[in-house]
């Protein structure tokens, strides 16, 4: 049966794909988003089937009448740049921690049954070369990552006090259509796909042999849907369990674009993570989950999106 689901940050990249999928499963959807990095155009095709609130999670209680009864909250709203968070720690603390506290209080007051939280693989910090399971000790290197780890613990603490269930998905490098290119630290997949679509040069930091676990947004959406009803554990990695290098991206995009991308060689980033890959066996064992979108297919779809949406 359809549920009443509140998606914070639902007009963002991941949120807009998730809301499309939730609507397909007959749920009633309420989005609260202040459009600080999300866009109304991301959800324009859904607007007549959802309640879209232009509001800030830090004052979510002010919107309780429009929000109405809610069974489950999917909490995606956040400031999302690890790099920026080091120079704006107060702002990250304010939105990602104080904002989550307001969402938790709202959930308690409205007797919400479950909260699903978008956490991040960045909680692991720079533990290169390992296949990261949920049992690896987190070592956040940015304030952003720290707020995500704190969020997991806040849900644990208040879940026990208020009686709601919860689950945190540690997302690895998510990519796909609608990821914002205007962000100075946009995901490399996003920048490279955009450049492929518009035949622009890209910056290559270091030797290109750094690797990441790139997971397509539709697989991430499937992961959120899997944990909606409940879960045995409260923390899961969501990735592909495959490490692909930046050079792999360039090869795949040369094929998609019909010509190699022009690269501007730059020195490696200080403290750049060399190699990171998710161990997803916990998620696979419980939910039978495995990602289905191959990197080459996901990149082709992302390039096609940027070709069709020159404004993005």
What is the rounded CA–CA span in Å between residue 216 and residue 14?
A: 10
What is the rounded CA–CA span in Å between residue 111 and residue 100?
A: 16
Kindly name the residue from 144, 158, 216, 236 that is annotated as catalytic: 144
What is the rounded CA–CA span in Å between residue 69 and residue 147?
A: 28
Nearest CA-CA partner of 105 in 61, 67, 71: 61
What is the rounded CA–CA span in Å between residue 283 and residue 239?
A: 10
Q: Residue 185 interacts with ligand NAD (CB under 6 A)? A: no
Cβ neighbours of residue 99 closer than 8 Å, sequence gap 6 or more:
56, 57, 58, 77, 78
144 flagged as catalytic: yes
User: Which one among 95, 104, 226, 293 touches ligand NAD, defined by CB under 6 A?
Assistant: 95
Query: For the chain, how are helix, strand and coil distributed in percent, rounded to 5?
Result: 45, 20, 40
- What stretches of 55-189 adopt beta strand conformation (E)? 72-75, 114-120, 131-132, 165-171, 173-175
Q: Residue 37 interacts with ligand NAD (CB under 6 A)? A: yes
Q: Applying CB under 6 A, what is the total number of residues that bind ligand NAD? A: 29
User: Which one among 2, 25, 35, 207 touches ligand NAD, defined by CB under 6 A?
Assistant: 35
CA 201 to chain centre: 26
User: Which one among 43, 80, 112, 204 touches ligand NAD, defined by CB under 6 A?
Assistant: 80
- Nearer Cβ to ligand NAD (97/108): 97
Q: Residue 43 interacts with ligand NAD (CB under 6 A)? A: no
Residues 141-180 that bind ligand NAD (CB under 6 A): 171, 173-174, 180
Instruction: Classify residue 261 by its DSSP letter.
Output: P
- Nearer Cβ to ligand NAD (38/291): 38
Q: Residue 298 interacts with ligand NAD (CB under 6 A)? A: no
What is the rounded CA–CA span in Å between residue 296 and residue 240?
A: 13
Coil, strand or helix at 171: strand
Q: How far is the CB of 255 from ligand NAD (least distance, A)?
A: 23
User: Which one among 5, 118, 143, 202 touches ligand NAD, defined by CB under 6 A?
Assistant: 118
Q: Residue 12 interacts with ligand NAD (CB under 6 A)? A: yes
Q: How far is the CB of 122 from ligand NAD (least distance, A)?
A: 7
Q: Residue 104 interacts with ligand NAD (CB under 6 A)? A: no
- Nearer Cβ to ligand NAD (54/207): 54
Q: How far is the CB of 172 from ligand NAD (least distance, A)?
A: 7
Nearest CA-CA partner of 112 in 66, 151, 159: 159
Residues 14-33 that bind ligand NAD (CB under 6 A): 14-15, 32-33
- Binding stretches for ligand NAD (CB under 6 A): 9, 11-15, 32-38, 56-58, 76-78, 80, 95, 99, 118, 120, 171, 173-174, 180, 187
Q: Which residues are catalytic?
A: 144
């Amino acid at each position: 049966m359809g549920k009443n689901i509140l998606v914070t940050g639902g007009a963002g990249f991941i949120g807009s794909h998730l809301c499309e999928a939730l609507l397909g499963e007959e749920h009633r959807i309420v989005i609260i988003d202040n459009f600080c990095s999300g866009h109304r155009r991301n959800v324009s095709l859904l607007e007549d089937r959802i309640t879209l609130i232009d509001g800030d999670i830090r004052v979510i209680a002010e919107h309780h009448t429009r929000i109405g009864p809610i069974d489950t909250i999917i909490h995606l709203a956040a400031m999302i740049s690890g790099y920026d968070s080091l120079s704006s720690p107060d702002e990250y603390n304010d939105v990602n921690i104080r904002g989550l506290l307001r969402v938790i209080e709202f959930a308690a007051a409205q007797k919400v049954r479950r909260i699903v939280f978008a956490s991040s693989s960045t909680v692991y910090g720079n533990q290169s070369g390992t296949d990261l399971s949920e049992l690896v000790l987190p070592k956040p290197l940015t304030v952003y990552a720290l707020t995500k780890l704190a969020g997991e613990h806040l849900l644990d603490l208040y879940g026990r006090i208020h009686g709601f269930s919860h689950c945190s998905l540690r997302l690895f490098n998510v990519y796909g259509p609608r990821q914002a290119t205007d962000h100075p630290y946009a995901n490399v997949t996003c920048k490279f796909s955009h450049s492929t679509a518009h035949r622009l040069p890209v910056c290559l930091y270091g030797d290109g042999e750094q690797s990441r676990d790139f997971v397509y947004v539709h697989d991430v959406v499937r992961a959120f849907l899997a944990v909606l009803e409940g879960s045995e554990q409260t923390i899961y990695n969501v990735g592909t369990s495959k490490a692909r290098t930046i050079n792999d991206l360039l090869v795949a995009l040369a094929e998609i674009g019909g010509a190699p991308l022009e690269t501007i060689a730059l020195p490696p980033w200080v403290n750049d993570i060399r190699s990171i890959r998710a161990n997803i066996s916990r998620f696979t064992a419980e939910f039978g989950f495995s990602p289905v979108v191959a990197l080459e297919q996901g990149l082709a779809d992302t390039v096609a999106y940027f070709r069709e949406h020159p404004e993005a």
